[in-house]
Amino acid sequence: MATGFFWDERTFWHGGGNYAFTLPVGGLIQPLAAGGLPESPETKRRLVNLMNVTGLMGELDVRTAPEAPTEALLRVHPQSYLDTFKEMSDNGGGELGLRVPFARGGYELAALSAGLSIAAVEAVLTGDVQNAYALSRPPGHHCLPDYPNGFCLMANIAIAIEAAKGLAGRVAVLDWDVHHGNGTEAIFYDRDDVLTLSFHQEGNYPLDTGALADRGKGAGEGYNINLPLPAGAGHTAYLHAMDRVAVPAIRDFAPDIIIIASGYDASAVDPLARMIATADTYRQMTHKVKDLAAEVCDGKLVLVHEGGYSEVYVPFCAHAAIEAMSGSAIKLADPFGVTFEVRQPGPRFDAFLIAEIDLMADQLGL
């Protein structure tokens, strides 16, 4: 079976108005020539362009999907939030929560983004495709049920998990976006049927979540894992974190499907983080989780696109991940690979990072 690729040009039309970095233009915040938030459509559009040029797109089962229906959204988001969002969307847009602006029609585009995630998960669980990639935009992993933040307006992965009830009893969500997956964590924090695991840069965003000690509550105690990594972590640290924490935790949980919140903002040139991952880091992490999925859940794996704000480098990182999950013979040479390789942490800092990860793994009981 082929790898499914779920995307829709309309998601690239989501816009948030005139911002510079994460602040609205005004006062001392001068307009940028390009304008807009760092969460730009160009990272995703350039990925599609790159896949068309290399031929990778032609190897995939390319599909779109309808907007997530209201009943699916209501399993995660309260009616009051959806009503407020829809009213603002119909009346020209605005800003909800923290730094989550949107234009007219933003509600429908967010529902379409969630719909792509639903379709990808359902296609894998029904055996229609072996694994799948959802190029969802706007992203979702920061969105709380009634409070959007961090560019996220609807909780795409959580909505897809709830829509798949009856097809999957246990779901593992591994979030390797550089920012803590606070929304996904909060939604499932008191449940034992969803394992949430987040690798993120310590003290980045959000500032008040993502601690190692936050393990879940009630029935969910022990089913939430956070691995806050020091700034400057690179290729070796991320692969060690996969081997030491993610793989054993997910193997022990024995899910019916693995979903990756696949952000690419841990890359070496992302403007919103200070990590040094490379395209090959994402390729190798995807290989590891694909092998794990083959072992524990008949290969059922979905990657849902989250953050990543370098228009130049995100396409190469995501291309590498999709190569790995699809088993493609295309092995795109990373044009930035050499320069980012020489910028990796040296042996002393890598040794420190490995020791820190091992210590956290011991504290997590892994």
Environment class of residue 14 by beta-carbon count within 10 Å: exposed (0-12), middle (13-18) or buried (19+)? Answer: buried
Cβ atoms 311, 40 nearer than 8 A: yes
List of residues 6+ apart from 360 with CB closer than 8 A? 212, 227, 245
Q: CA angle 14-20-23, nearest 5°?
A: 90
Among this protein's residues, is 305 annotated catalytic? no
Cβ atoms 140, 155 nearer than 8 A: yes
Measure the CA–CA gap between 82 and 98, rounded to whole angstroms: 16
Helices (H) and strands (E) in the chain, counts: 12, 12
Catalytic site residue from 14, 142, 179, 180: 142
Question: Where are the alpha helices (H) located in the chain, listed in sequence order?
Answer: 41-54, 70-73, 79-90, 106-125, 156-163, 182-188, 235-241, 247-253, 279-296, 314-326, 337-341, 347-363
The CA distances from residue 311 to 43, 321, 323, in Å, are 4, 16, 19
Measure the CA–CA gap between 89 and 105, rounded to whole angstroms: 5
Q: For 197, phi and psi rounded to 5 degrees?
A: -135, 120
Structure tokens at 346: 């040296």
Q: Which residues are catalytic?
A: 142
